[in-house]
Structure 1
Amino acid sequence: MRLDIPAGIFGGYIFDCDGTLVDTMPLHYRAWSAALQRHGLRGELDEELFYSLGGVPTRRVAELMGQHYGLVLDPERVFHEKEEIFLSMQGELRVIQPVVDFARAVAKRAPVAVASGGPKPIVRRTLEVTGLAELFPILVTPEDVVHGKPAPDMFLLAAAKMGVAPAACLVFEDADPGFRAAEAAGMPWVRVASRGLAR
């Protein structure tokens, strides 16, 4: 994987977690599909729909998927069941090495943070399982803000926690809601092409 890093030195670096630092998206897809099947989904979850919601807060994803398929479900219950299924798969997690290598290199001279649409306990556990927790002392999730991605709130809070002006931050993301959030925050961004990773 080649990362197209813009020229210049940035004051801080913000990384999404799922599909950016860690190759979790195939596991999240399987977990969502299994959870929704328990609530009336016939067949597999549409993969395009799943990837189009990358970065959106998990509870909102449950609502949107239920609406899309016309399922009568409790988003809170589906959210919890999906996260339980995902946690059972965490032994399969692998880091996205080029992104992690870059993060380790820049962390020697600038603050780094994670801003993820996942629930804080799940994201923290993902970072711990993959040995990344110590690298990222700053973690922002939807629980910390009023609006999740594609709103800029999470990135702006991460910048504030790093003590860096938003325009001096570089964001690493793999999904459209994250790109839009970065742009709304006035931050340049780098696309991580996670869908093509070898399984």
Structure 2
Amino acid sequence: MIDLSDIDTLIFDCDGTLLNTPPIYALAWTKGFQETGKQMPREWFMARAGMSDHVLMDAFEGDFKVRIPSRARAIEAMRREFFTNIADLKEIATVAQIARSNHGTRQLAVASGGARPIVEACLKATHLFDLFDRIVTIEDVAHPKPAPDLFLKAAQLLNTAPTRCFVFEDTQSGLDAAHAAGMRCIDVAQIIPPA
């Protein structure tokens, strides 16, 4: 299993790691991109799940050669649709259990490329919010993953050296960010039992 004997802080990505948000985001972004006149293929989104809003919009415009008339309206439409479906959100049990079992014995943080209102609402909807000492979101840093900013900010807020942090992630860009931050990490696909 995972050796955490010299670890003080566990840092969890949210989307696709702690919570099964990608299917809900796929529905929400379909609504968000509606003004472009281009239907977003679900598979396209699932291959990019975990990207921050603006990085995802850049990819959509580039891949489909369209322009999003108003990014603010696209985000607003996406969020409205996301919150409509938030009751369907499920935790990823194996990873959530790691957070629960370490609550009170290690510092816990969420470091997500998502927007704070959505990340916090998701954690509250799944009753995980109170487990975490800090929540760091895209609004708190200059650069999204694969830059190490989110993880370094979480470590800084919890006064922990990066070498004493362990990261749980589900994407290559997140794993690259953890490595760039000098933190050990695991791809949660290695610990989640097959469905």
Q: TM-score, normalised by structure 1?
A: 0.89
Mapped partners of 1:28, 1:178: distance in 2: 18
SS at match of 2:33: helix
Task: Report the CA distance between 1:76 and its aligned residue.
Answer: 2.7
Task: Report the CA distance between 1:34 and its aligned residue.
Answer: 3.0
The number of residue pairs the alignment matches comes to: 193
| Structure 2 residue 53 is the aligned partner of structure 1 residue 53 | no
Mapped partners of 1:5, 1:65: distance in 2: 37
**Preserved CA contact (<8 Å) 2:32 2:73:** no
Q: Once the two structures are aligned, what percentage of the paired residues are identical?
A: 37
Match of 1:121 in 2: 117
**Preserved CA contact (<8 Å) 1:173 1:190:** yes
| Structure 2 residue 21 is the aligned partner of structure 1 residue 24 | yes
Task: Report the CA distance between 1:177 and its aligned residue.
Answer: 1.3
| Structure 2 residue 97 is the aligned partner of structure 1 residue 101 | yes
Task: Report the CA distance between 1:45 and its aligned residue.
Answer: 1.7
Mapped partners of 1:33, 1:116: distance in 2: 21
Match of 1:139 in 2: 135
Match of 1:161 in 2: 157
Match of 2:144 in 1: 148
One-letter code of the match for 2:41? L
SS at match of 2:109: strand
| Structure 2 residue 1 is the aligned partner of structure 1 residue 10 | no
SS at match of 2:167: strand
Mapped partners of 1:79, 1:191: distance in 2: 28
Mapped partners of 1:50, 1:197: distance in 2: 22
Task: Report the CA distance between 1:197 and its aligned residue.
Answer: 7.1
Unpaired runs of 5+ residues, structure 1, are none
**Preserved CA contact (<8 Å) 2:16 2:50:** no
Aligned counterparts, 1:78-93, within 5 A: 78-93=74-89
Question: Of the two structures, which has the highest relative contact order with CA contacts closer than 8 Å and spacing of 6 or more?
Answer: 1
Q: TM-score, normalised by structure 2?
A: 0.90
| Structure 2 residue 30 is the aligned partner of structure 1 residue 33 | yes
Moved over 2 A (4+): 4-9, 49-56, 74-77, 193-198
Task: Report the CA distance between 1:7 and its aligned residue.
Answer: 5.7
Match of 1:186 in 2: 182
Across the aligned residues of Structure 1 and Structure 2, the Cα RMSD in angstroms comes to 2.1
| Structure 2 residue 48 is the aligned partner of structure 1 residue 66 | no
| Structure 2 residue 172 is the aligned partner of structure 1 residue 176 | yes
Deviations along 1:30-66, one digit per CA (max 9) or x if unpaired, are 2112322342113x4251x423433322122112212
Mapped partners of 1:173, 1:64: distance in 2: 21
**Preserved CA contact (<8 Å) 1:150 1:177:** yes
